[in-house]
Structure 1
Amino acid sequence: MSSVTGGCPLALVILLLVSMEPTATYVVTLVSECDEFFLDETPPEIPGKLEQKKFMDVRYKLICQKYNIIKKFMTLYDTDKKIPVFSACKYTGLTKLQTPVYSPWVLGTGVVKYFICNQDDDIKGDYNEQDTYHKGHLFPVSHANSEEDLKSTYQLTNSDPQVGTFNQGRWSAMEKFFKKFMDENCTNDKKTVEAFIITGAIEGTDPSTEYLKQAINIPKILWTAFCCKRSKGTFEGTAWDTNIENNGHKILTMTLKDLNQILKVEPFSKNMVFIYYENSVGLMTHFEFRMTCPFIKLSFF
C-alpha cells in the first residue's frame, strides 16, 4: 500500500524538504512556464523525448531550476534513467567567480518523489567510493555569472556520471573555450554579453556499463551548443564527445547542421536555414536568413 511519502520514511522526506533551500527545483507542465532560457523561447527538438514543445513520455519532466525563488536555468529530466536529457541556460558574460572549495550537491524539493528513497545518499556514496566517475555538470560552473548562479548548478538533476578525465579534461577545456569565445563575440544590441546554451546527454545502452551501481544511467555521449544574435550577425558553435577516458583524441567544434546529422538533435529553431561555404581565409561561414554568421572551426583537447 502506498503512502503520502511514496514509501519513503517520513523523517527522510522531512529532512529533504527542509534542507534544500534556497536551491529548489520546480516541475512544470508547460515549456512556456520557463522558456526564457531558450533562444526565441523555443526549446530543442529531441526525437522521442521533446518534440514541438511536447513531452513524448511521462518519464520526462521539465524542471525550472531556481535559487532564492529566482529562475536560473531549465532542465529536461529523465526520471527512469535518473539523468538530465539537457540543461539550458542564458549566458550573460564574463565572471571572475571561482569554484568554492566545497559546494554541496542537493536534490531539489520539487523532485523528491521522482527518486528512490535513499538515492540522494546513494549518489554521493557511489561517486565518492571510486574515482572513475564524477558528478558532471550539464550547466557548468564556468558559465555562471554570480555566486547564486554558481550554487544553483549543484543540483543532482543537473548532473550525470562523467568519466573523471573526460569531465576535468577535454570537456572542461571545451566549456572554457566556448566561454572565452562568447565573452569576446556575443555582445547584443544593449552592449551586454548574451548567449543561449544547451548541453545534453545521450543515455548509455551497453548492458555491461549502462548503470552506475544499478541506479543511474551512464551517458555515452555529451553534446553542447550555443547561439548568440547580434545586430550584424549570429554566432553559433557546437561540440560533442564520447564519455570515455582521454585517449589522445580532440573534440572538434562543428555546425548545428553537423550536430543534427550526427546526433539527430535540433538545439535551436528548426526554421533556421543555413548555407555553408569556405571563405578565402579558410574559415567556415554560413548565413542564417540575411545575417552573416561566422563559424570558427577549431580543435582543442
Structure 2
Amino acid sequence: MTALVVLVLAALPCLLHGRLVQEAEDGFAECNDFFLQGNPPHGFSDPTHARICQRYQGDKQFATLYSTEHKIPLYSAFLYREGASSMEGDWLLEPQLDDSKSSLDEATKGSEQIEGLGTNQALEEDYASSDYQPSPLFHRAPALLTNTVPLPQNFKEKWATDVDQLLKEKLVPQCGNGGNLHIIVGAVPSSNKMKDKVSIPEYVWLAAFCSVPEAWSLGVIKSVGDADNLEQVTLEELESRLPSGVKLFSNQCGEGAVSAEQRTSESATQTEDEGPARPGAFSRFFQLLFCITYEIVNNILCLVWFLVKQVLNLVFGRLYWIWTAATTYIFALSKVLLNIPCDVLRVLANILCGFVRILNNVFSAVCLLLRLPTRFLCDMASFPYYTVCAIPDVGIDILSGIWGVVALGFHAVFGAFGGSFSVASFAGSSFFSKLFGQSEGYENELVSLT
C-alpha cells in the first residue's frame, strides 16, 4: 500500500499538467473532486465536447465541458468555497483547445503564440461590436472565456444577482455553510449565433446538491428572453428539460434528495410543532458513531479507488503513448523504405528517357542533313575554289576598267583641245578673209574641202 501511494504521488506532477483531459483519462482527471463522489454528469456525449480541468496559477479552479462546435461551455462544476470571487483583469484562454501540442498547461491571456487561435473557442474580439457581453456562468470564478457565454448586459447583471441571492439565502445556509455544496452551472445553446460563430444560449441553469446533514437538491432556470423571471424547479424537472438522458448528480439518493424549498418548509414546520420527537442521547451517540464510521470507510474506499484509477490511467496512458509512438515510427520508417525502390526506378526511368531524347535529336539532325539538295552541297563545297580562282580575273577587269577610264579621259581632253583649235582656226580664217577680201576664194576652198 505504501509503495502504491509513493507511485501515485510521483505520478501526480505529470498528471497535473494535463489541462485538456485526454481520452485515456477518466472523467475530468484531477478535477473530479468538483463532482459529487467524483462522478461527472451523464448524458453529455458528443465528439465536439472537450473536457477541461480549469487550472490557474498552479491551482485547480473548476471543471468545464466545452462545446467546440458552439464555442460555449455546456456546464461548469464547482465546489463552493467561502470567500471565492471572480478575478479581475484580462480574459484568459485555454491554449490546448486550439493547439493540442501547446506546452502551455494553464489558462493564458493569449499573448503567447498559439497555433490556430480561435478555431475551437470564442475569443474576446468575437464579442466586439455586438449587443452581447462575455458573461461567466458562475461569476465567483477566474475570468476564463471557456466559462463564459454571450448574454445581454442587463441579463448578465441580473443573472449574477440571482445567483448571489440564491447562495446567500438558500444554498449555503441549508448546507452547513456550504462545506459540501456541489454546484453545476450550464447553458443550452440555440441556433442563433453571434457573428455566425458563437452560439447564444436559449437559457442558463444552475443545479445544487448537498449531502449533509441531509441530502437535498435544487434547480433554477432562467430564459435569456426573460431577464426578470427566475424559475425554481426540482432537480428531476431540470434534468428533463436538458438533453435526453442527462443525469447531473449520478450518485444522489433519488428519494432521499429533496429540494431546498421542501427542506426549508420542513424545518419551519418542526419549529412550530409543539414537542417534536427527539431521539435519546444513546441513539444519537450510535447515529453519530455510525455516520463517522460510514464517512471514514467511504473516504478510504474513495481514496483507494482514486489511487487505483490514477495508477491505471498512468500505466495505460503511458502504454498508449508508447504504442502510438512505436506505430508512428514504424509507419514512417516503412514509408521511407518503400520509397527507396520507387525513387531508384524513377531515376533509372529519367536516365533512359534522357538517352532516348539524345538519340532522337541525333536522328533528327541526320535526317535534316540528308534532306538537303546534293547540288547545293556541291556548290557550297566548290564555293571557296571558284572564289579564289576568280580573284585574278576580277583584278585584271578592274585594272582594264581603270585604264579605259584614264584613256577616255585623255581622249576627251585632247579632243576638246583639237576641237577648240579647229574652231579658233576657222574663226580666224573667216575673219581675215573678210578683212582682206578673200572670203570668196576661201569659201570656195572650204566647199571644195567639204
Q: TM-score, normalised by structure 2?
A: 0.46
Report the equivalent of 1:226: 208
Residue 91 of structure 1 deviates from its aligned partner by 0.5
1:123 aligned to 2:128?
A: no
Residue 163 of structure 1 deviates from its aligned partner by 2.0
Report the equivalent of 1:289: none
Q: For the residues of structure 1 that align with 2:257 and 2:32, how far apart are their CA atoms?
A: 29
Contact 2:79 2:181 in 1 (8 A): yes
1:194 aligned to 2:180?
A: yes
Matches of residues 198-213 of structure 1 in structure 2 within 5 Å? 198-205=184-191, 210-213=192-195
Residue 90 of structure 1 deviates from its aligned partner by 0.5
Q: For the residues of structure 1 that align with 2:72 and 2:135, how far apart are their CA atoms?
A: 11
1:27 aligned to 2:21?
A: yes
Number of positions where the alignment pairs a residue of Structure 1 with one of Structure 2: 230
1:175 aligned to 2:163?
A: yes
Higher Rg of the two aligned structures: 2
Report the equivalent of 1:298: none
CA 276–89 in structure 1, closer or farther in 2 if over 3 Å, else same: closer
Residue 80 of structure 1 deviates from its aligned partner by 1.2
Q: For the residues of structure 2 that align with 1:269 and 1:122, how far apart are their CA atoms?
A: 30
CA 193–270 in structure 1, closer or farther in 2 if over 3 Å, else same: closer
Contact 1:200 1:224 in 2 (8 A): yes
Matches of residues 54-203 of structure 1 in structure 2 within 5 Å? 56-93=45-82, 95=83, 102-113=88-99, 117=116, 119=118, 123-130=123-130, 132-141=131-140, 150=141, 153-169=142-158, 171-180=159-168, 181-187=170-176, 193-203=179-189
Report the equivalent of 2:33: 36
Supply the AA of the counterpart residue of 2:188.
Answer: I
CA 235–80 in structure 1, closer or farther in 2 if over 3 Å, else same: same
CA 293–139 in structure 1, closer or farther in 2 if over 3 Å, else same: farther
Contact 2:76 2:186 in 1 (8 A): yes
2:61 is paired with a residue whose SS is strand
Per-residue CA deviations over 1:65-121 (Å, capped at 9, x if unaligned) read: 00122211100111111111111011122x2x6656x42111122223389935399
Q: For the residues of structure 2 that align with 1:76 and 1:61, how far apart are their CA atoms?
A: 6
Q: For the residues of structure 2 that align with 1:251 and 1:159, how far apart are their CA atoms?
A: 19
Higher RCO, 1 vs 2 (CA within 8 Å, ≥6 residues apart): 1
1:71 is paired with a residue whose SS is strand
Contact 1:234 1:293 in 2 (8 A): no
Per-residue CA deviations over 1:213-243 (Å, capped at 9, x if unaligned) read: 1111111111110111213x12321101212
Q: Bigger shift: 262-271 or 109-118?
A: 109-118
1:218 is paired with a residue whose SS is strand
> Is the strand fraction higher in 1 or 2?
1
Supply the AA of the counterpart residue of 1:43.
Answer: P
2:127 is paired with a residue whose SS is helix
Q: TM-score, normalised by structure 1?
A: 0.66
Per-residue CA deviations over 1:264-297 (Å, capped at 9, x if unaligned) read: 532212663237999xxxx5359xxxxx999xxx
Supply the AA of the counterpart residue of 2:136.
Answer: H
2:201 is paired with a residue whose SS is coil
Residue 140 of structure 1 deviates from its aligned partner by 2.2
Of 215, 239, 254, the residue aligned with 1:260 is 239
CA 186–113 in structure 1, closer or farther in 2 if over 3 Å, else same: same
Q: What is the percentage of aligned positions where both structures have the same residue?
A: 25
Residue 245 of structure 1 deviates from its aligned partner by 5.4
Supply the RMSD in Å over aligned alpha carbons: 3.3
Q: For the residues of structure 2 that align with 1:276 and 1:60, how far apart are their CA atoms?
A: 29
Q: For the residues of structure 1 that align with 2:226 and 2:28, how far apart are their CA atoms?
A: 38
Q: For the residues of structure 1 that align with 2:57 and 2:257, how far apart are their CA atoms?
A: 44
Contact 1:77 1:83 in 2 (8 A): yes
CA 86–37 in structure 1, closer or farther in 2 if over 3 Å, else same: same
CA 25–277 in structure 1, closer or farther in 2 if over 3 Å, else same: closer
Supply the AA of the counterpart residue of 1:252.
Answer: E
2:154 is paired with a residue whose SS is helix
CA 269–118 in structure 1, closer or farther in 2 if over 3 Å, else same: closer
Q: For the residues of structure 2 that align with 1:36 and 1:220, how far apart are their CA atoms?
A: 29
Contact 2:71 2:122 in 1 (8 A): no
Q: For the residues of structure 1 that align with 2:231 and 2:254, how far apart are their CA atoms?
A: 22
Q: For the residues of structure 2 that align with 1:195 and 1:266, how far apart are their CA atoms?
A: 17
Q: For the residues of structure 2 that align with 1:272 and 1:293, how far apart are their CA atoms?
A: 20
Report the equivalent of 1:284: 262
Q: Which runs of 4+ in 1 moved over 4 A?
A: 97-100, 275-278
Residue 176 of structure 1 deviates from its aligned partner by 0.5
Q: For the residues of structure 2 that align with 1:242 and 1:41, how far apart are their CA atoms?
A: 30
